[in-house]
Chain A
Amino acid sequence: MTNYIIRRLLMVPILLIGVTLIIFSMLQLLGPVERSALYVKDFPKNDKQIQGIITRYGLDKPFLTQYGIWLVGVKDPVTGERDGGILFGDFGYSRSASQDVIDIVRNRFPNTVDLALWTVYPMLSVGIWLGVKAAVNQNKFIDQAARVYSIIGTSFPSFVFGLLLLMLLYAGPQIFFPGKMSDWVSQLIFSGELKQYTHLLSIDALLNLRFDVFWDALRHMIMPILTLSYINWATYVRVMRSSMLETLRMDYVTTARAKGLSENAVINQHARPNAMLPIVTMAGSSIVGLLGGVVLTETVFNYPGIGKAAADAAAQLDVVTVLGLAIFSGAILIIANLIVDVVYAFIDPRVRLA
C-alpha cells in the first residue's frame, strides 16, 4: 500500500511539469507584448518600454530559461517585490477582466465548488438507482427505456440541452434562473448582512439561517445541476446496468437467494455494493471533472464559475488569462486524481497490485 502511494506521489511532479510545459509552449506562440501580461499590468506603449520589458523578464532568452523565469518570477532588486512566478500563485494579469488572474480564481472557484457540491448527489444516486432498476428488470420495459435514455443522453449536447431548459423553465415561466443570485441577494452580500463564512453561497445561506437566500441560490443552480446530471446519468445507467447484470450471475448471489433472503435483500445488500466498483471509478473522475470547470454548462447558464471565466477570456482572445486558469484547473485535476487513486487503492486491492 505504502509502495503504491509513493509510486503514485512520484507521478505528481512529472504530471505537473508536463502540464506546465505544454501550457508554456502555447504561450510561446504569442508576441512579447501579449506575453508581458504575465508580469506587468499595463499594455506597453512604445518600443522602448517593450524593449525594457523583454530584457527585464528575459522574454528573448532560450525556452528553458524563460520557463524557469515563468515558474519563479522576477524579483525587483530594489523593492524586493516579485513579478510573476506561477509557483507563488501569480498567474499574470487579465487584461480582459482588468484584474489579476489569481483574483478571478479566488472569486470564481467557490462558485464552481458550490455547483459541484450540489451536483454530486443527484448525479450519483439517480444514475445508480436507474442502472440497478434496469438490470433487475432486464429486457422489460424499464430496461429498454433506460437503454434508449442512455443513448439519447449521450447524444444530447449539454449546451443544446441547456438552451432547451432555458427555453422551457426560464424564458416563459420564470421558474428557475440563469446566473448565480438575484439582485437582492448580491445587495445582502455587499452590505455585509449575509456573512460569508465559506464563500459558497448555498452553504453561507444555511449558516446564516437565511432560507430565502438558500432557495434563491438553488433556483439559480437547478438548471446547471440538471444539465450536468443528465449527461452523467446516461453513462452511469449503462455502466451500472452491465456491472449489476454480471454480479447477479455470480454464485454468491444464487447462494443468497437459496438461503431464502428476500429479493430486495439480495439486490440491495449482496449484489449492489459489489456492482458499485466501476461506478466508484467513474464517480471519481466525474467529480474531478466538475471541479476542473464545466465550461459549456457554466457558459450556457451564465454561471460565474471557473469554466465561464475561461470561456469569456478565450472569446476575447486573452490568452494569458485562459492559460492561467488552465494551469489552475490542471493542478486541481492532478491533485484530485491523486486523492481518487489513493482512495481506490483502499477500496480495491487489485488496483495497488497492478
Chain B
Amino acid sequence: MTEQPEMIPTGDNRMLDEVFSDRKITWLEKTLGTDNYRIVKGLFKTPASIIGFILILIFVLIAVFAPAIMPPVDKDPYKMPRDGYSGEPRGPGAEWTRKVPDLPFWYEPLTGKTEMTHVLGTTQGQYDILYGIVWGARTAFKTGLLVVAVTVIIGVVLGSIAGYYGGWVDNIIMRITDIFMTLPYIMMALIFSAVLTPVLGRSLWPPLIAMTTFGWMGYARVIRSDILSIKERDFVLAAKVSGVKKNRILFKHVLPNAIFPTLVLASLGIGDVVLSFAALSFLGIGTEVGYADWGQILSFARNWITNLDRYWYIVVYPGLTLTFFVMGWNLVGDALRDVLDPRMRGKL
C-alpha cells in the first residue's frame, strides 16, 4: 500500500495557532475587514502567486516606461515604425535604416553597438518586433483595464439588482444571463466586432465593445450569489428593522460587503481580456495595420507558416510575451481561486 493521503491539508495547524494566540490586527486588516484581508493575504501566500505578481509588475514597468525603452518615431507612438516595405521578415540584429529611433538607454551597455538595429528582428512589412512588444504592453493594459472596468460595472449592477430584489426581476435578469452564456464567447466577440467595424472604422473600439457586450455574465453571477448570502446576515436585518429604505440598504450595507471578491476576481480578468483581444487581432479584426498590439504581430505570421523554421522570431518573441502576460494573471488568479473556494475558508 502506498502512502496514505494526508488527512489534514498543510497550513491547517496555523488556523489553530491563529485562533488561540492573540493575533495582532494590522491596519490593513482593519481597513479591509477580516474576510477581505484573508483574500489579500492568500494572494501573496504561495511562491506561484508571487512569481505571478512579479511577471505582472515587469509588464507594468514595460508599459509605464515604454517611451524610454523604445523611443517613439512617429507622432502616434502606437504606430510601429516601418523600416521599408519589404514583405519578408528580417532576423534579429538586422540593420535599422529608415525611421531610426533615438538610442534607448539600455542599448549600448547591452549590445555594445552604437548603431540602432532590430534587436528581435522585423516582421512582415518591416515592423520592428521589439517596438511592437514594448508598446503592445501599453495596448494590453489599456484594453484590459477598460474592458474589465466596464464589464464589472454592468455585471455588478445587473447581478446586485437580481440578487437583492429577487423574484421575477431576478428571474428575467438571470435568464438573459443564461442566454448570453449559451453563445460561444470568441465567436460572438468576433462577429460583433465584424458588425461594428464598418460603423466605427478599424480601431480598438469594435473589439472592446464586443468583448464588453459578451463578457459581463460571470461577474453578474458572482456578485448575485454573494449578495444572496450577505442579505441574510444579521446586520442587514438590523438595518431593516430600524427602518432603513430598501435601496439604501443595498447600496450602503449589502453591496460594500459583497463586492470585494468580485473586484479581485475582475482585476485578475485582465489576463483573459488581453488574451481574447489578441485572439481577435490574430483573426484580423480590430486595430488598423501597424498598430502596436501583440495579436497583430502574431497575425503576420499566418502568412509565413511554410517558412516558420526560418522566421521563428516572428512567432516566438511575441508569442512568449503574450503567454507570460497571461501566465502572470493566471498564477495570481489560481491563488485567488483557492482563497475564494468556500471549502478553504479559515485555512489561511
Q: List B contacts of A159 (CB < 8 A).
A: 279, 282, 298
Check A29 against B298 for contact (C-beta < 8 Å): no
The reply to whether A160 and B179 contact each other, CB–CB distance below 8 Å, is no
| Inter-chain contact A151/B188, CB cutoff 8 Å | no
Residue contact A155 to B283, C-beta cutoff 8 Å? no
Encode contact with A along B271-300: 1 for CB under 8 Å, 0 otherwise.
Answer: 100010011001111000000000000100
Closest to A260 in B: B1
Count of A interface residues, CB-CB < 8 Å: 57
Interface string of B301-320 (1 = CB under 8 A from A): 11001111110100110011
Cα(A203)–Cα(B331), bound, Å: 41
| Residue of chain B at shortest CB distance from A289 | B184
Whether B217 is near chain A, meaning CB under 8 Å from some CB there, is no
Which residue of B194, B198, B275 is within 8 Å of A322 (Cβ)? B194
Would you give the shortest CB distance from B182 to chain A, in whole angstroms? Answer: 6
* A299-324 interface (Cβ within 8 A of B): 299-300, 307, 310-311, 313-315, 317-319, 322-323
Q: Which one, A157, A248, A314, A329, contacts B194 given CB within 8 A?
A: A314
Do B315 and A163 touch (CB < 8 A)? yes
Residue of A26, A323, A329 most packed against chain B (CB within 10 A): A26
Docked Cα-Cα span, A34 to B195, in Å, equals 11
Chain B residues, Cβ within 8 Å of A295:
186-187, 190, 283
- CB–CB B198/A26 < 8 A: no
Asked if B191 is at the interface (CB within 8 A of a chain A CB), the reply is yes
User: What is the CA–CA distance of A167 and B306 in the complex, to the nearest angstrom?
Assistant: 8
Which of B73-81, B96-104, B321-329 forms part of the interface with chain A?
Answer: B321-329
- Contacts of A325-351 to chain B: CB distance below 8 A: 326, 329-330, 333-334, 337
Q: Are B279 and A296 in contact (CB under 8 A)?
A: yes
Question: DSSP majority for the A interface?
Answer: helix
Q: How far is the CB of A63 from chain B (nearest CB, A)?
A: 16
- Give the segment of B2-10, B56-64, B128-136, B245-253 that binds chain A: B2-10
Is A292 part of the contact surface with B, judged by Cβ < 8 Å? Answer: yes
Binds B, one of A11-19, A53-61, A213-221: A11-19
Min CB distance, B177 to chain A, in Å? 10
A330 to B180, CA, bound (A): 10
Q: How far is the CB of A353 from chain B (nearest CB, A)?
A: 19
The answer to the question of A9 belonging to the interface, with a C-beta cut-off of 8 Å to chain B, is: no
Assign chain B's interface to a size class. 35 or more
Shortest B60–chain A CB gap in Å is 18
Interface residues of B in 215-232 (CB under 8 A from A): none
A178 within 8 A of B: yes
Q: In the complex the two chains form, what is the Cα distance from A334 to B179 in whole Å?
A: 10
Assess A19 versus B323: contact at CB under 8 Å? Given A151-B48, A295-B283: no
Q: Is A152 at the interface (CB under 8 A from chain B)?
A: yes
**0/1 interface trace, chain B 93-134, chain A, CB 8 Å (1 if under):** 000000000000000000000000000000000000000000
A323 to B298: give the CA distance in the assembly, Å: 26
Q: Counting CB contacts under 8 A, is A182 at the interface?
A: no
The answer to whether the Cβ of A187 comes within 8 Å of any Cβ in the partner chain is no
As a 0/1 sequence over residues 50 to 76 of chain A, the CB contacts with chain B under 8 angstroms (1 = contact) are: 000000000000000000000000000
Kindly state the separation between the CA atoms of A289 and B323 in the bound complex, as whole angstroms. Answer: 23
Is B178 part of the binding interface, using a Cβ–Cβ cutoff of 8 Å? yes
B143 at the interface (CB under 8 A from A): no
Contact B330 A154 (CB under 8 A): yes
- The reply on B262 being an interface residue by CB < 8 A is no
Whether B326 and A322, one on each chain, are in contact in the complex, defined by CB atoms closer than 8 angstroms, is no
- Is B176's beta carbon under 8 Å from chain A? yes
Instruction: Using A18-B176, A26-B195 as known contacts, say yes or no to A163 and B283 having CB atoms under 8 A apart.
Output: no
Q: Which residue of B lies closest to A246 (CB)?
A: B343
A167 touching B309, Cβ below 8 Å: yes
* Closest Cβ–Cβ distance, residue B46 to chain A (whole Å): 11
Residue A170 at the chain B interface, CB threshold 8 Å? yes
What is the minimal beta-carbon distance from A159 to any residue of chain B, in angstroms? 5
Task: Report how far A37 CA is from B16 CA in the complex, Å.
Answer: 69
CA separation between A138 and B193, bound complex, in Å?
45
B178 (CB) vs chain A CBs: closest residue: A15
Evaluate contact between B182 and A330: CB separation under 8 angstroms.
yes
Per a CB cutoff under 8 Å, which of A19, A152, A329 touches B327? A152
For residue A18, which residues in chain B have a CB less than 8 angstroms away from its CB? 175-176, 179, 182
Task: Check A19–B305 contact: CB distance below 8 A.
Answer: no
| B7 contacts across to A, CB distance below 8 A | 249
Complex interface: chain A residues within 8 A of B195 (CB): 26-27, 29-30, 319, 322-323
B89 to chain A, nearest CB (A): 13
A residues near B199, Cβ cutoff 8 Å: 29
CB under 8 Å from chain B, chain A span 26-52 = 26-27, 29-30, 34
Check A329 against B319 for contact (C-beta < 8 Å).
no
Interface centre among B190, B198, B302 (most CB of A within 10 A): B190
Contact of B5 with A171 in the complex, beta carbons under 8 Å: no
Across chains A and B, which 10 residue pairs bring their CB atoms closest together, nearest first?
Answer: A18-B179, A155-B327, A172-B309, A160-B319, A167-B308, A315-B284, A314-B194, A171-B308, A171-B309, A163-B315
Q: Would you give 5 A-B contacts (Cβ < 8 Å), ordered by A?
A: A30-B198, A248-B5, A249-B5, A310-B190, A315-B284
- Additional A-B contacts beyond A157-B319, A157-B323, A326-B187 (16; CB < 8 A): A14-B179, A15-B182, A18-B182, A22-B179, A29-B199, A138-B6, A151-B334, A159-B282, A163-B305, A166-B308, A167-B308, A167-B316, A263-B2, A295-B283, A299-B282, A317-B197
Binding site for A on B (CB under 8 A): 1-2, 5-7, 48, 175-176, 178-180, 182-184, 186-188, 190-199, 271, 275, 278-279, 282-285, 298, 301-302, 305-310, 312, 315-316, 319-320, 322-324, 326-327, 330-331, 334
